Amino acid sequence: MLSKKMQDALNQQVNAEYFSSYLYLSMAAYFQAENLNGMATWMKKQSQEELMHALKIFDYIDSRGGKVTLTAIDAPETAWKSPLAVFEATCKHEAHVTSLIHNLVNLAKAEKDHATESFLIWFVNEQVEEEDTAQQIVAKLKLVKDAPSGIFLMDRELGMRA
C-alpha cells in the first residue's frame, strides 16, 4: 500500500505528464501553423509518449492500492519565436520533469518504499534519453541558424520519427 504522501506525489506526476503532453501538442499546433509538418509530427509523437507515461503511473498507483485523482491541467504556452526556441523550451521542460522524477525517487527512498523506487527507475532512464534527444535537436538547429534550407531538412528529418 502506498503512503498518502507517496500517493499524492504520484498523482501530481500524473498531472505533470499530462501537462507535458499538452505542451507538446501546443508545440505541434505552432509547427503546423508554420507549415513545418515534420516537426509537428515529431511533437505529436512526443505528446503521445507523455500520455503513456501518465498512464503508467496511473496504473501503478492503482496496483498499489492507491487512489488515482485527476486534477486540472494548466494551459501550455502557445507561441514561440522560432523552431530553436521551441526545442530549447523542450529541453528546459524535460530538465524540469527530470527534477520532479528525482524528487519522487528521493521520497520513495525516504519512505523505504522499495517498490516505488524500483518502479521509478524506468522514468529516471527515460529522462536521460529525452533530455539527450532534445539537446541533440537544439545543437543541430543552432548549426542551421535561420537558414531556410537547413530548417527544411530538419523538418524532413524530424518528420521521420518512428
Binding residues (CB under 5 A) for Fe ion: these are 17, 50, 53, 130
Q: How far is the CB of 115 from Fe ion (least distance, A)?
A: 20
Question: Judged by CB, which is closer to Fe ion: 17, or 113?
Answer: 17
Q: Which of 131, 144, 47 is nearest to 88 (CA)?
A: 131
Q: How far is the CB of 24 from Fe ion (least distance, A)?
A: 8
Question: Judged by CB, which is closer to Fe ion: 88, or 130?
Answer: 130
Question: Judged by CB, which is closer to Fe ion: 33, or 52?
Answer: 52
Q: How far is the CB of 48 from Fe ion (least distance, A)?
A: 11
Question: Judged by CB, which is closer to Fe ion: 37, or 133?
Answer: 133
Question: Judged by CB, which is closer to Fe ion: 96, or 109?
Answer: 96
Q: Which residue carries 498523482 as its cell? A: 11
Q: How far is the CB of 1 from Fe ion (least distance, A)?
A: 25
- Could you give the CA distance from residue 110 to residue 138 in angstroms, rounded to a whole number? 36
Which single residue brings its beta carbon nearest to Fe ion?
53
Q: How far is the CB of 13 from Fe ion (least distance, A)?
A: 9
